[in-house]
Each structure stands twice: as C-alpha cells, then as structure tokens.
Structure 1
Amino acid sequence: MSYCNIGDTPKVYVEFNGQNKQTYEPKISPIDVSSEDYYPDGINYSPTGYQISFYSPNNGIRLAVVARNFVIHDRGSIYSSIDIQLCGQDDFTINYANIDPSTLVINTAITCGNSKPRTKKTKIHIKKAGESSDLFTVFGDYPGTFQVACNARCPDGFCECPSLGYPGYCCLDCRAIASELRSITNSLRS
C-alpha cells in the first residue's frame, strides 16, 4: 500500500513479537509498505520428523538418518549435495557432498519422537512507490506490524508527548489513552 506524498518525510515504525519498536526513515516519498508472513524452515520441514535415506557414491552405501528437514543442492552433475537438519538441532548440521537424488526415500513411520512446531516469521518490505526493489527489508518474529507517519513524528492515531529521553518525544496510542480516561471517569462516577 502507498503512503505519503512527494516531499513528505516518512517514518516507518516496525514492531515484531517480543521485540522493541524500530524506526526507519526512508529519504524518499511516496513509499509502499507491506508485510509478508513466512516459514523460514522451507518446504521439507516436518514438526515430527522422518527418516531420510539415500545412496552415497562416495562410500558406496545407502545412508539413513532421522531428521526434521533437508535441502538438496543441484550441482549440475549426476550427483547433488544435501544439507540435513537433525532432530535435536535448530540448523542444518550435516552435509553430504555426493548423493544420488533419485535414490532418496522418506519414511514417515520413523520420527524424531517429539514435535517441534514450525517457526513463523514476518518480513516488512519498504519500497519507493511503484518500484519492485526494496529500500529496506526487515525480518522478525511473527506477528510483525508497521505504522507510517508522513510528516508528523508520530504515526496516525498516536499523540506526540514530550519526553526527557532521546529523541525528546514519545508516541502514545490515542485509543488506549481514551480508553483509560473513560475507565478512570467511570471509576470516579461510581
């Protein structure tokens, strides 16, 4: 979605689950800002895992491991390489340089023994309006949200209040303040 007009000085406020709010100030306007949720684990990830077996011409035997994820890298020859994420690992920790991908067999009856849910992430894309290349791409834990201010120091729906700390002001959510004031008023009337 497009934000701001030519000559505006936009600020994009980005916040991810459990992280501090970040501010990005593109030196260009108008801008397009969008968010995208994704799974960094890839298409072969399984929360419960599986046994993967394949033929390795290096040692002339069939290998089998229990894993949660794998990625095959085509090297442009008969043989490919494979990265494997074992059950107890967060990253791809095993690499076999030469495998025959046509011998790959997945056995879902053999699992890791415990489940590890997929990790969901969010990307925030900031672009010059009408362009396809990102000026900024910000990644973080799901959910990710953003707000855009065009000329004000605070985004729409927020009030600017003086603050002793840097940058000398803070932005407060007007709806939250109004709700608290209604609550206080109702308490006083009781």
Structure 2
Amino acid sequence: MAYCKIGDPNATVTWQYQNDDPKRFISNIVPIDVTIGFDDEVGVWRVDTYDDMTISYIASYSGTQAESPVGIARELRTASTNRLISSDGNIAAGNVRVRSAVFTPNSQRIYRIKVLDTTGKVIFENFKETNTPPKYQVACGVACPEGFCKCEIPEYPGYCCLDCAFTAASIHAITNELKYKNLGGLPPLTLT
C-alpha cells in the first residue's frame, strides 16, 4: 500500500515494538510503502566435524535453519547461502566432513519494518528480536497520523505527534493522583 503522494514534502513513519518507546523515520522520498515481516527462523548450529587427522572438532555459528553446514574440501560452508563458516589450508588432513549438526532455534523471531520507495528499493529498515510485530503509522507532510496530536518542540523537525488516547489517559491518572494527595493521602470517600 502506498503512503503519501508526489508533492508531499515528506512522509513520517512512526513505529513501536511492544514495551518500547515509539521511533520515527522521516523520508524525503514520497510516496513510500511500509512492510512488516520476520526473518527465517534464526538460531545456532552446533557442528561436529572431522578429517583424516582430527578425530573431532566442534564448531558453532548463528544462522537460519536453512543454513545447514556442508564440508567442501577444507572449508565449512552453509548449504543455502554458501556462507563461509571456517577454513584452513591443511591439505594433508584431507577433506572436512560433518559428523553431526544440531540446530537450536532462538526463542524469539526477528521482526523487520522496512520503508521502500515506489520501485521497491529499501530506503530504511529496523528490526528487533521479539515475538510481536511492531505497530506503525504514516503521516504525510507536516501532519500527524489519525489519533495523534501535534505539539511544537525545539528539535528537528519542530513538532512531535503524541498519541491522543495515551495522553488523555496520562492526564487523567495525574489528575487522580493530585486529588488523592490534596486529600492528605486519603482515598476519596464514596457514598453508598
């Protein structure tokens, strides 16, 4: 889905991962698209290798489940991406062979938020290891997203967008706390 239109000075993407403060990216490229996705299951491979001279050599590396280890001559590489894990020049020891490989997935996923231009080129991305995807909103130009209030600030870009419902709830909580303190710390009386 495209956000903003040609002629808007910028697009502001505000996103928030669960239990984190909101973050913001301002793009001078408009229109934009925003995608949320997660990486393939990431974890740790523990590999037991051997060759003609070495009985056992234990190695470990981080990767996806598809990046299983493969011995090629004196190198240990990943199957799906051909990423080099280890290498040496000890030709006399023979080829590296994999005796066993065990994959242990991380307990959480890595979620990514990407901002793309109209050609699909990524112009910004952010990620976090979490089980919950981030929530995001997009504002065009100097406007705030729906449900947000615009406030002037001295830092760039000169304003911020505050969540109206959250701000109202905070003001309500502060008001109740002040009422409680003005009564000398006693809870308000309720008539039954």
Q: TM-score, normalised by structure 2?
A: 0.60
2:148 corresponds in structure 1 to 158
Of 156, 160, 166, the residue aligned with 1:176 is: 166
SS at match of 1:176: helix
Tell me, yes or no, if the aligned pair for 1:126 and 1:137 is still in contact at 8 Å.
yes
RMSD over aligned Cα atoms:
4.1
Q: 1:7 — aligned with what?
A: 7
Name the structure 2 match of 1:55: 50
Output aligned runs, 1:110-121, within 5 Å. Answer: 117-121=106-110
Alignment-derived partner of residue 185 in structure 2:
none
**Runs (5+) with no aligned partner, structure 1:** 84-93, 109-114
Q: How much does 1:5 deviate?
A: 1.5
Q: Which has the higher contact order (CA 8 A, sep 6+)?
A: 1
Instruction: Give the alignment of 1:27-46 within 5 angstroms.
Output: 27-38=28-39, 41-42=42-43, 45=44
- Sequence identity, in percent? 23
Question: Does the 8 Å contact 2:49/2:58 carry over to 1?
Answer: no
Indicate if the aligned counterparts of 1:14 and 1:23 stay in contact, CA closer than 8 A: yes
What's 1:86 paired with? none
Consecutive unaligned residues of structure 2, counting only runs of 5 or more, are 79-84, 180-187
Q: Give the C-alpha shift of residue 31 in structure 1.
A: 0.8
Q: Which moved more, 1:115-124 or 1:137-146?
A: 115-124
Q: Residue 180 of structure 1: CA displacement? A: 6.0
**Deviation digits for residues 81-132 of structure 1, max 9, x if unmatched?**
259xxxxxxxxxx84537846x313276xxxxxx994343222111112x22
Larger Rg belongs to: 2
